Amino acid sequence: MSELLISQNERVLTLTLNRPQARNALNNVLLEQIVQALEAAQQDETLGAVVITGNARFFAAGADLKEMASRDMPATLNDPRPQLWARIERFNKPLLAAVNGYALGAGCELAMLSDIVLAGDNARFGLPEITLGIMPGAGGTQRLIRSVGKSLAYKMILTGEAITAQQAQQAGLVADVHPCALTLEYAQNLAARIAQHAPLALQAAKIALRQAHELSLTQGLQQERQLFTLLAATEDRQEGINAFLEKRPAAFKGR
């Protein structure tokens, strides 16, 4: 049985982390498989959005500690993982995380790297690296503080203590909380709603949103306007506006 299950329903691709014996720990092989699945999805015009999920008890409970323990300082310096994470981040279509159970360490970082997080009411988010004598190494210190603010980010990272789905929602880490048994289904429904929109508009909006964390407001507004202008050259923009005015569903073509 593969450690990453891949299934497609219409325009939505679902990636299911499937290493239950290792609590879905994200080892290099699994991370590589995620990257490959996303890069294939990026080329596939029939796909509009991707949902990544785990099982009812674990989204992903961290990195693979045995793998990490075997890497000394020189090996860590040349670790392929940062490249893998960067390739996940370059995925240019909407990426949703449906998180049930524990999203810890690398699991939490993977959720935070996703564009939208939906959580089951049993979900827990945490960065317990500090308790192992290390620290988050794949965006944990950077993305957490940008979504939940200073005090909670410091508290979580310096204590290693996890927060509940409800706390995560209040803090802005999570968009919606659902009963655990419905999280994936609702994430897939949301992904399907997103995936029916014009692909280029989604791609442009995602670039603009990503840049909000990279640029000053003035630069961000300029970038936003350029992307907005770019879309003015697309057929789908015409179709979208026409369909609205003619009160009919739009038929987007991705150009």
Least Å from the CB of residue 179 to another protein: 5
Neighbours of 39 (CB within 10 A): 14
Least Å from the CB of residue 161 to another protein: 14
Q: Which is nearer to another protein, 48 or 120 (CB)?
A: 120
Q: Which amino acid type is present at position 109?
A: E
DSSP string, 99-116: E-SEEETHHHHHHHHSSE
Please give the Cα distance from 161 to 165 (Å, whole number).
Answer: 13
Least Å from the CB of residue 112 to another protein: 25
Of 211, 144, 190, whose CA–CA distance to 171 is shortest?
Answer: 144
Least Å from the CB of residue 16 to another protein: 20
What is the enclosing helix (H) or strand (E) of 74?
helix 73-77
Q: Which residues here bind another protein, judged by CB under 8 A?
A: 178-179, 181-182
Q: Which amino acid type is present at position 114?
A: S
Q: Which is nearer to another protein, 57 or 87 (CB)?
A: 57
Q: Which is nearer to another protein, 14 or 169 (CB)?
A: 169
Q: Which is nearer to another protein, 182 or 243 (CB)?
A: 182
Neighbours of 245 (CB within 10 A): 8
Least Å from the CB of residue 182 to another protein: 6
Q: Which is nearer to another protein, 75 or 181 (CB)?
A: 181
Q: Which is nearer to another protein, 174 or 205 (CB)?
A: 174
Question: How are strands ordered across the β-sheet holding 102-104?
Answer: 58-60, 102-104, 124-126, 163-164
Least Å from the CB of residue 89 to another protein: 32
Per DSSP, what are the bridge partners of residue 99?
Answer: 119
Least Å from the CB of residue 181 to another protein: 6
Length of the chain: 255
Q: Which is nearer to another protein, 181 or 221 (CB)?
A: 181
Long-range residue pairs from 112-117, CB within 8 A, at least 24 positions apart, any chain: 112/139, 112/140, 112/143, 112/144, 112/147, 112/173, 113/85, 113/88, 113/89, 113/138, 113/139, 113/143, 114/52, 115/206, 115/209, 116/175, 116/190, 117/168, 117/173, 117/174, 117/175
